[in-house]
Structure 1
Amino acid sequence: MTSKKNLYYYLNNFILFSFFGFLFENIMHLITTGSLTNNPFYGPWMPIYGFGVIIMIFFTRLVFNRVKLNRPLKIIILFLAVTIILTILELAGGYLTEFIFHKSFWDYTDLKFNFGKYIALEVSLGWGIACLIFLYVLKPLTDKFIEKIPKFISIILLILIIIDFIFSFFLK
């Protein structure tokens, strides 16, 4: 893959899974509370999901795909590694958002195995399982779609996300 194609591949994954994150958050919130979530953005995206996917793609391409292990062991090690990586991302995202923007978008203090308010064992294990589903089920399906997204659509969506970010955090 050329570096330009690589850039659009990552950009399109970021956009698509930011949107899927928005859908996931709203569905889970609807199931657990009966209402839609209070999205911090105006548009239908949750960028932390996009960043998580990009990190997982980098991790599997640069590190994990080069390791020769049998499949069950590879899945176990991958699960543990991505659980730790995504937990660190969630913790950093929570604290950075609170520090920079003085806002908190999630709080796990009501969960039994929480550590601070931004991470909890229950949620971290869920991220590990979700990542395995992403890597082994969703990603092979979405890769075919992602390659067909016109570049101008990717650029327009990125501009919209940036504008949304500015309005959501700096102009509210």
Structure 2
Amino acid sequence: MNEFLLFAFLFFIGSCLGWCMELLFRRFVSKNNPRRNWINPGFLAGPYLPLYGFGLWGMYEVSHVIKLLVTGNIFIDVFIIFLIMAIIMTIIEFIAGLIFVKGMNVKLWDYSGEKFNIKGVICLKFTVIWGVLGSVYYFTINTRVENWVDWLSAHLTFSFFIGLFFGVFLVDLCYTLQLSVKIRKFAVDNQFIVKYEELKHFISEQRKELKEKGSFILAFKTDKPFKENLERYLERSIETGKKKFEEAKKDMKTKMKSRENKR
């Protein structure tokens, strides 16, 4: 099969399945969503996450290499698969995160609060999670993905739907990049990095306060100018930063006093 078509097919499946997984995670598990609202995850408006598209393609390709490395010892094989999948997915996540942080002054996700993180883009906790998910993929899903690829080889007319998907995807990408240019300009002018998910939550809260009609797909659409929302978001970020700084100072003083009392 044509390699580009193979990539497009896996990207299509991975992006859509990844979006569904993130949607459920944010609704039922994420600590950043205490109200348990339905939140459209990711950078784009539509139901797809490119990170997972690249991830599925990467895991599919790596699975062929893994088959050459298996030893027959289940414990060694699980460790090899876990390690390789964790490294591959962490590299993909790191590259994607840096592209947005360096190129657009935007953080699509933020691991700054996690231990052993690098630039808040990757961290040990999620590297382990990627390794677990990659191992689960290899042992339970990879065979099915290979069957899907074989099915596509015998039904190339399905490539029409893949082309349709990419048509919608490119329109969505153009719309989102236009929005990102505005976010980047504002972030550069004010010398700070916008946390994408945090901005989404902020605008959602603003809608509720003003009793505006919400939009699951167009998360940044409000009755007010977008720049005004960015300015308010910046003000709240500064206030939140000051509060955290004051709380950290109080905690430090409390710890110092307790140490002095022990002496």
Deviates more, 1:35-44 or 1:140-149: 140-149
Name 1:7's counterpart in structure 2: 4
Q: Is the 8 A contact 1:42 1:168 kept in 2?
A: yes
Alpha-carbon distance between aligned partners in 1 of 2:62 and 2:42, rounded to the nearest angstrom: 28
Alpha-carbon distance between aligned partners in 2 of 1:142 and 1:84, rounded to the nearest angstrom: 21
Q: Identity of counterpart residues, as a percentage?
A: 21
Alpha-carbon distance between aligned partners in 2 of 1:128 and 1:68, rounded to the nearest angstrom: 17
Alpha-carbon distance between aligned partners in 2 of 1:68 and 1:134, rounded to the nearest angstrom: 16
Alpha-carbon distance between aligned partners in 2 of 1:9 and 1:131, rounded to the nearest angstrom: 20
Alpha-carbon distance between aligned partners in 2 of 1:18 and 1:166, rounded to the nearest angstrom: 17
Deviation at 1:157, TM superposition (A): 0.8
Q: 1:95 to 1:128 in 2, by over 3 A?
A: same
Runs of 4+, deviation exceeding 3 Å = 142-146
Deviates more, 1:138-147 or 1:105-114: 138-147
Query: Counterpart of 1:112 in structure 2: which amino acid?
Result: K
Name 2:71's counterpart in structure 1: 69
Query: Counterpart of 2:124 in structure 1: which amino acid?
Result: L
1:159 corresponds to 2:162: no
**TM-score normalized by the length of structure 2:** 0.58
Name 2:199's counterpart in structure 1: none
Alignment of 1:1-172 (within 5 A): 2=1, 4=2, 6-31=3-28, 32=30, 33=33, 34-35=36-37, 36-61=39-64, 63-72=65-74, 73-145=76-148, 147-148=151-152, 150-171=158-179
CA deviation string 1:64-88 (max 9, x = no partner) = 2223511422221111121122112
After superposition, the CA RMSD in angstroms is 2.0
CA deviation string 1:33-57 (max 9, x = no partner) = 2122443211100000110111122
Alpha-carbon distance between aligned partners in 2 of 1:92 and 1:45, rounded to the nearest angstrom: 19
Tell me how many residue pairs correspond in the alignment. Answer: 168
Deviation at 1:17, TM superposition (A): 1.0
Query: Counterpart of 2:51 in structure 1: which amino acid?
Result: I
Alpha-carbon distance between aligned partners in 1 of 2:52 and 2:70, rounded to the nearest angstrom: 28
Q: Is the 8 A contact 1:17 1:50 kept in 2?
A: yes
- Highest CA radius of gyration, 1 or 2? 2
